[in-house]
Amino acid sequence: MLAGLPAGSVWQADRIAQHPGTARPTGFSALDAALPGGGWPAGALIELLPERPGVGELSMLLPMLARTPSDQWIAWLSPPLQPYAPALARAGVPLARLLIVRPEDPQTLLWATRQAAVSGSCSAVLAWVPRIDNTGLRRLQLAAEEGATPLFLFRPSAVAGQSSPAPLRLALAARDSLLEVRILKRRGPPASCPLLLDVRAAQCAPPEPEPAPGAPALVR
């Protein structure tokens, strides 16, 4: 029976899910090759679980953030430290498009995160949420889907063994001068081995930002 179905009608569990047009390049070819669609999913909750703050989790996002269109925002919700403007500018991140929000309580933090994700006006949403249950995670995933926005949720590494509705979960650790990325969950087959990324290169090689829709192309 299955043999008579058209090509592509049967899901093969050993293949990474592909959704052309719904992923954004990470800036790291090895990571793009390991992620469904070839990059960060544009409308999904993405959990980043660093073994400790500062292992390179933000540097990993710099190539994507540097491509922020001129009419969109990068929302930062409750970052543990003030973003270091010189480093961001050096990587090509448009400082004028940063939106930093520090809600006073956990409920307001989750509400603000959902609003930023669902608005459609943010190129990316970054949120630091130490405690959240599966109901809250599902709401964030739905908001990311509705707003077609990548929502990066930074959580403690201790939650790596817990279940989560997030379609993409990455555990991050420092390995000498490299960033080790273990894909805990993705759409498709389990990842077989961790990746090692040189995130330092992203700090000094800014790509060209994406133009706003309808804006004239810049010719050089």
Q: What is the CATH number of the domain that holds 133?
A: 3.40.50.300
Percentage of the chain lying above the pLDDT 90 cut: 75
- pLDDT classification of 212: cutoffs 50, 70, 90: very low
In a domain, 104, yes or no: yes
Per residue, the 3-state secondary structure of 6-20, as one string, reads: CCCCCCCCCCCCCCC
Given CA atoms 155, 137, 151, 179 in this order, what sign does their dihedral have? Answer: positive
In a domain, 93, yes or no: yes
Going by C-beta distance under 8 Å and a sequence separation of 6 or more, which residues neighbour residue 69? 123, 209, 210, 211, 212, 213
Q: Residue 151: which domain range?
A: 27-201
Residue 177: CA count within 13 A, CB half-sphere: 3
In a domain, 2, yes or no: no
In a domain, 206, yes or no: no
In a domain, 17, yes or no: no
| Maximum Cα interatomic distance, the chain, rounded to a whole number of Å | 61
For 130-178, give the DSSP string: S---HHHHHHHHHHHHHHT--EEEE--GGGTTS----SEEEEEEEETTE
In a domain, 19, yes or no: no
pTM of the entire structure? Answer: 0.84
Least confident of 30-44, 173-187, 202-216: 202-216
Contact 111, 62 (CB under 8 A): no
Please calculate the CA angle 74-130-185 and round it to the nearest 5 degrees: 75
In a domain, 22, yes or no: no
**Cβ count within 10 A of residue 46:** 23
Q: pLDDT per residue over 97-154, tens digit each?
A: 999 999 999 999 999 999 999 999 999 999 999 899 999 999 999 999 999 999 999 9
Question: Could you give the 3-state DSSP secondary structure of residue 49?
Answer: strand
In a domain, 217, yes or no: no
How many domains would you assign to the chain? Answer: 1
